[in-house]
Amino acid sequence: MTADPAETPAGTADGTAVADLTAAPEVAAAEVPPELLAQSLGQYLRAWWLRVRSGNSGVLPVVLGMVVVAVAFEIVTPEHAFLRPSNLVYIFGLSTVYMVLAMAETVVLLLGEIDLSVGAVALFGGVIAFKLVQQPGPGWPWWAAMLAALACCGLIGAFTGTLTARLKIPSFVVSLGMFLLFSGILVVVLGGANGTVSVSSSAPNQRVIYDLVQGLIAPIASWVALAVVVAAVGTALWLRAAARRRQGLVAPPASLTAIRIALVALVGVAVVVICTINRGTPLVTVQGVPWVIPIVLVVLGVLTLLLQRTRFGRYVYAIGGNPEAARRAGVSLAAIRTWAFALCSATAGLGGILLGSFFFGEYSTNTADPGQLVLYAVAAAVIGGVSLFGGRGKPVHGVLGGLLIGGIAYGVSLLSLGTLATPLQYIVPGGVLIVAVLVDVLSRRGTGSVARA
């Protein structure tokens, strides 16, 4: 079938389509996801380009941003060290924290709200998990400590959400208060300004937590795992398209599905190659994929499933798009908002545990600045393509944005700028955030969804 997309009637609707008298065709084409109309790869690419040109560029800016950042830092860093495998793996590890926090923030941003407490709550969750596995001390098993920390964070989020949803206090204010509150509580729990809490790889109940980021999957196992992931993703994509075709629904062209699977495989191979190059010293071999990469993929999968394939997720998007429509459809706005904040904070808690593991199992008041963390989380989500105005974005955008932010943050720290290094840690991501918000605002204007509302 190579029908012109302009003549393709809706879904399975019969072919009695009248000419589209009402819509300005270019505008409509720009908003329609290209795979819905394209019957061939060429059409898909043309439709995609039309969308990009009209300001609806999807993940293109963040991918381009990564290329620019990689090239720029490779040029300006001393000895052109930015793209060395050891540095790249370090960036992966650092970025996973931002990725998880950005995915957490995405849940709330989709509602059209914002949670400024993710950084503080994440650090609090991390400290709770670390405290619970201490020996002597509670000595909990690692999984119980982590679950307790996530539950704790979830409760905090539910509290923030309740204040926002039931008492109608702007989430900006509530979460700002929670940010300050938990930034302080964090120091108390850590035991003062110089307090630390750490886990080691030698204690059996702490080892898993230490290994979350530090642990490596052996090269062979890495390749096997990659093959399994690609096969699973590929089969899922392929079966999905086949099922739609079987029911007479519009499905993406097979070539497109193949290209998508190939892209997943390509990215996966690149990551595994980078991670399995020996990045140790000639004496000590260090190679393998960090555990945290599959962990982030699992978080991504779970959140994507929740947001795209469940009622909860559908209502999150609906509230972000038009709360009044959701209310009239019988959606309990307060309940969905509260759950979304709880989910955000629980996810952030995992990010906090990863952060402790990333810093070789040690938590101190210097581990991270909660203010900077939340800036990075919001920036990563928005740079990745999540709209600040609600209703638009996916968890995967948080992952891409998190990688970009991680690259920038680490690149800046490589520059040996002396006293300038710390301010630049804020200036560069802050500047990128402003640009991303501008893109967000301008693309909304371009697609006219504001004007029509």
Partner 1 sequence: MTEVNEAPEGASSGGDAAEPLLKLRGIDKHFGPVQALYGVDLDLPAGQVTGLCGDNGAGKSVLTRCIAGVHQVDHGQIYFEGRPVHIRSTRDAAALGIETVYQDLALADNLDIVQNMFLGRERLRRGLLDEDSMELQAAETLSTLRVTTVRSIRQPVASLSGGQRQSVAVAKAVMWNSKLVLLDEPTAALGVVQTRVVLDLVERLRDRGLAVMVISHNLNDVFEVADRIAVLYLGRMVAEGPAADFDRQSVVEYMTTGSSGGRPFEPAGSASGEG
Q: Closest CB to partner 1 among 6 and 270?
A: 6
Q: Closest CB to partner 1 among 23 and 220?
A: 23
Strands, DSSP E only, in 267-356? 289-290
The whole-angstrom separation of Cα 147 and Cα 154 is 10
Please select the residue that binds partner 1; options are 78, 192, 330, 418, rule is CB under 8 A.
330
Q: Alpha helices of 111-218 — where are they, by DSSP H?
A: 118-132, 142-166, 171-190, 207-214
The whole-angstrom separation of Cα 370 and Cα 354 is 14
Please select the residue that binds partner 1; options are 261, 318, 343, 405, rule is CB under 8 A.
318
Of 11-19, 80-88, 95-103, 270-278, the window that binds partner 1 (rule: CB under 8 A) is 11-19
Q: Closest CB to partner 1 among 290 and 390?
A: 390
On whether the CB atoms of residues 93 and 358 are closer than 8 A, the answer is: yes
Q: How far is CA 137 from the centre of its chain?
A: 34
Q: State the sign of the Cα–Cα–Cα–Cα dihedral 253, 256, 260, 261.
A: positive
Q: Give how many residues touch partner 1 by CB under 8 A.
A: 57
Of 7-15, 79-87, 154-162, 361-369, the window that binds partner 1 (rule: CB under 8 A) is 7-15
**Does residue number 30 form part of the binding site for partner 1 (CB under 8 A)?**
yes
* Shortest distance, position 48 Cβ to partner 1, whole Å: 15
- Lookup result for tokens 């740079």: 383
Please select the residue that binds partner 1; options are 1, 2, 4, 12, rule is CB under 8 A.
12
**Does residue number 250 form part of the binding site for partner 1 (CB under 8 A)?**
yes
How far lies 4's CA from each of 19, 23, 44, in Å? Answer: 13, 17, 11
Of 186-194, 267-275, 289-297, 324-332, the window that binds partner 1 (rule: CB under 8 A) is 324-332
Q: What is the DSSP letter of 8?
A: P
**Does residue number 33 form part of the binding site for partner 1 (CB under 8 A)?**
yes
Of 174-182, 201-209, 289-297, 444-452, the window that binds partner 1 (rule: CB under 8 A) is 444-452
**Does residue number 320 form part of the binding site for partner 1 (CB under 8 A)?**
yes
Side chain identity at residue 10, one-letter code: A
Extract the tokens encoding 423: 């301010």
Please select the residue that binds partner 1; options are 22, 202, 281, 416, rule is CB under 8 A.
22
Segment (H or E) for 362? strand 362-364
Of 69-77, 144-152, 320-328, 354-362, the window that binds partner 1 (rule: CB under 8 A) is 320-328
Of 88-96, 181-189, 373-381, 442-450, the window that binds partner 1 (rule: CB under 8 A) is 442-450
Count CB atoms within 10 A of the CB of residue 194: 10
The whole-angstrom separation of Cα 107 and Cα 103 is 7
**Does residue number 5 form part of the binding site for partner 1 (CB under 8 A)?**
yes
How far lies 435's CA from each of 65, 172, 217, 241, 450, in Å? Answer: 11, 21, 37, 36, 20
Please select the residue that binds partner 1; options are 1, 2, 4, 11, rule is CB under 8 A.
11
**Does residue number 234 form part of the binding site for partner 1 (CB under 8 A)?**
no
**Does residue number 168 form part of the binding site for partner 1 (CB under 8 A)?**
no
Q: What is the DSSP letter of 12?
A: T
Q: What is the DSSP letter of 445?
A: H
* 3-state class (DSSP) for residue 364: strand
Binding mask 388-407 for partner 1 (x = CB under 8 A): ---xx---------------
- Lookup result for tokens 């909304």: 444
Count CB atoms within 10 A of the CB of residue 260: 17
Interface contacts to partner 1, rule CB under 8 A? 5-6, 8-14, 16-24, 27-33, 36-37, 243-244, 247-250, 305, 309-311, 314, 317-318, 320-322, 324-326, 328-331, 391-392, 447-449, 452-453
